């Protein structure tokens, strides 16, 4: 409790939002010089706490960041005699208008000279539609500019805890699915299960592997920060300029780990140093299958483990397998977000590895493959 009092008195509560109708509190608390944590608290009947999360290591349990947000709200309530009036902004600082997705991307005014057909859609209709789309430049209005990309990334920080994040990624191809899509294209086989996965028809939230990854991702990021005082910031969803491909990195790197990392391509080390190519995105994996193993043990005993050992100039180092779906995910993130390198982190309770992965120019052609799949395979599935 003492820590939370100090945080409030020291004005370490950087942001505080209370939504009375939705009954939730969201705030940001500064913890250290280069770190701040987002807190979300859901309220129930009579404003009792039903659920709370924090981005810190103890985020699923009690922490002083949550206490700071609650104490900040309590002190603001106590300053007025009118119940709940503390959520209003003072007259000297009128509230900023919240921008909705409709505000950011308004629908153009146009004369509607069409109507829905009253019969089943057939292949002739689809061929006609594709022909028209080709003439129009394939959903050209889906194209987003750099300002929109940056706005969306900022508005969707928090990812799974942010409802906008789910709305933006809906009906788009995301980097975590690039591997399975590219494999399907290579086989020229598109099973129903693929489209169910792309449409998020499966609830994986209660799977042991997913729970393990979610619970330990923050631990892995904090471990990464200890390698040379690295700085990582949370981020949202990044769109490719074509508007249909997207990625959600584990974080944006402001200062990369200074030591302890392996090079995916050791032969390119000198070039990366000469041009000062630094990783700008972080991707974290906490494999459930290796929860009781070191990385070396996982490489030796788990057939589909994502890492392998390579030798270069007599040294043995780790690299991400180029035929693994995670490689497609990382390269997809790099090309979608237009970054030159990524730090790929693999964490287990017994071990920790950082692999620094540069853009693979050969992989870049897959962006066109994924885009073609979206329009020729995925869109028809959505129509059906």
In the prediction, which pLDDT does 33 show?
60
Average pLDDT (316-329) is 98
**Does residue 114 register a pLDDT over 90?**
no
In the prediction, which pLDDT does 81 show?
36
Query: Shortest CA distance to 227 belongs to which of 192, 184, 256?
Result: 256
In the prediction, which pLDDT does 37 show?
84
Q: Each residue of 150-173: pLDDT tens digit?
A: 999 999 999 989 999 999 999 999
Query: Shortest CA distance to 352 belongs to which of 288, 300, 284?
Result: 284
Q: pLDDT-based confidence at 304, cuts 50/70/90?
A: very high
Instruction: Please measure the distance between the N-terminal and C-terminal CA atoms of the chain and give it in whole angstroms.
Output: 56
CB neighbours (10 Å) of residue 107?
Answer: 7
Q: Each residue of 171-192: pLDDT tens digit?
A: 999 999 999 999 999 999 999 9
Query: Shortest CA distance to 262 belongs to which of 332, 175, 350, 341?
Result: 341
Contact between 362 and 108 (Cβ < 8 Å)? no
Long-range contacts of 154-162, Cβ-Cβ distance < 8 Å, separation of 24 or more: 154/236, 155/236, 156/236, 156/237, 157/38, 157/234, 157/235, 157/236, 158/38, 158/40, 158/234, 158/236, 159/234, 159/236, 159/237, 159/248, 160/214, 161/38, 161/40, 161/53, 162/236
Q: pLDDT-based confidence at 62, cuts 50/70/90?
A: confident
In the prediction, which pLDDT does 225 show?
96
Q: Is the dihedral of CA 201, 207, 209, 210 positive or negative?
A: positive
Q: pLDDT-based confidence at 213, cuts 50/70/90?
A: very high
Which 8-state DSSP code applies to residue 40?
E
Starting at the earlier edge strand, list the strands of the sheet with 24-32.
13-19, 24-32, 35-43, 49-54
**Does residue 83 register a pLDDT over 80?**
no
| Domains located in the chain, CATH noted | 2-87 (no CATH), 149-383 (3.90.320.10)
Average pLDDT (253-263) is 96
- Provide the token pair at 35: 């770190």
Contact between 317 and 266 (Cβ < 8 Å)? yes
The better pLDDT of the pair 57, 208 is held by 208
H helices of 252-318, where?
269-274, 295-301
Query: Is residue 350 exposed (0-12), middle (13-18) or buried (19+ Cβ within 10 Å)?
Result: middle
Share of residues in the chain with pLDDT > 70 (%): 87
Q: In sequence order, what are the beta bridge partners of 239?
A: 246
In the prediction, which pLDDT does 92 show?
45
Q: What is the pTM of this model?
A: 0.67
Query: Shortest CA distance to 298 belongs to which of 330, 267, 321?
Result: 321
Long-range contacts of 115-124, Cβ-Cβ distance < 8 Å, separation of 24 or more: 121/383
> Rg (Cα) of the chain, in Å, rounded?
24
């Amino acid at each position: 409790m003492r820590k939370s009092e100090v945080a409030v008195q020291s004005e370490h509560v950087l942001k505080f939002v209370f939504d009375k109708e939705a009954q939730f509190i969201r705030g940001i608390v500064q913890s250290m010089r280069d770190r701040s944590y987002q807190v979300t608290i859901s309220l129930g009947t009579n404003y009792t706490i039903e659920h709370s999360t924090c981005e810190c290591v103890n985020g699923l349990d009690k922490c002083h960041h949550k206490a700071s947000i609650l104490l900040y709200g309590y002190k603001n309530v106590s300053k007025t005699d009118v119940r709940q009036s503390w959520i209003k902004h003072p007259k000297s600082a009128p509230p900023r208008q919240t921008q909705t997705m409709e505000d950011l991307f308004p629908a153009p005014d146009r004369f509607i000279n069409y109507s829905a057909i009253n019969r089943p859609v057939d292949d002739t209709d689809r061929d006609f539609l594709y022909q028209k789309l080709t003439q129009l430049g394939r959903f050209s209005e889906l194209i987003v500019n750099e300002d929109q990309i940056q706005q969306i990334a900022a508005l969707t920080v928090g990812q799974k805890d942010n409802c906008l994040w789910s709305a933006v990624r809906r009906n788009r191809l995301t980097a975590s699915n690039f591997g399975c899509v590219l494999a399907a294209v290579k086989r020229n086989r598109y099973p129903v299960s693929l489209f169910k996965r792309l449409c998020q028809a499966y609830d994986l939230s209660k799977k042991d592997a997913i729970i393990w990854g979610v619970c330990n991702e923050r631990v892995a990021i904090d471990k990464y920060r200890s390698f040379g005082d690295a700085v990582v910031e949370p981020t949202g969803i990044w769109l490719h300029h074509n508007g249909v491909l997207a990625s959600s990195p584990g974080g944006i790197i402001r200062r990369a780990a200074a030591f302890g990392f392996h090079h995916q391509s050791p032969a390119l080390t000198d070039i990366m140093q000469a041009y000062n190519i630094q990783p700008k995105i972080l991707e974290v994996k906490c494999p459930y299958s290796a929860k009781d193993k070191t990385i070396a043990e996982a490489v030796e005993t788990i057939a589909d483990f994502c890492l392998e050992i390579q030798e270069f100039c007599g040294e043995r180092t780790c690299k991400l397998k180029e035929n693994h779906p995670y490689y497609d995910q990382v390269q997809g993130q790099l090309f979608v977000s237009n970054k030159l390198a990524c730090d790929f982190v693999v964490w287990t309770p017994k071990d920790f590895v950082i692999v620094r992965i540069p853009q693979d120019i050969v992989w870049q052609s897959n962006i066109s493959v994924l885009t073609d799949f979206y329009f020729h395979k995925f869109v028809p599935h959505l129509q059906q």
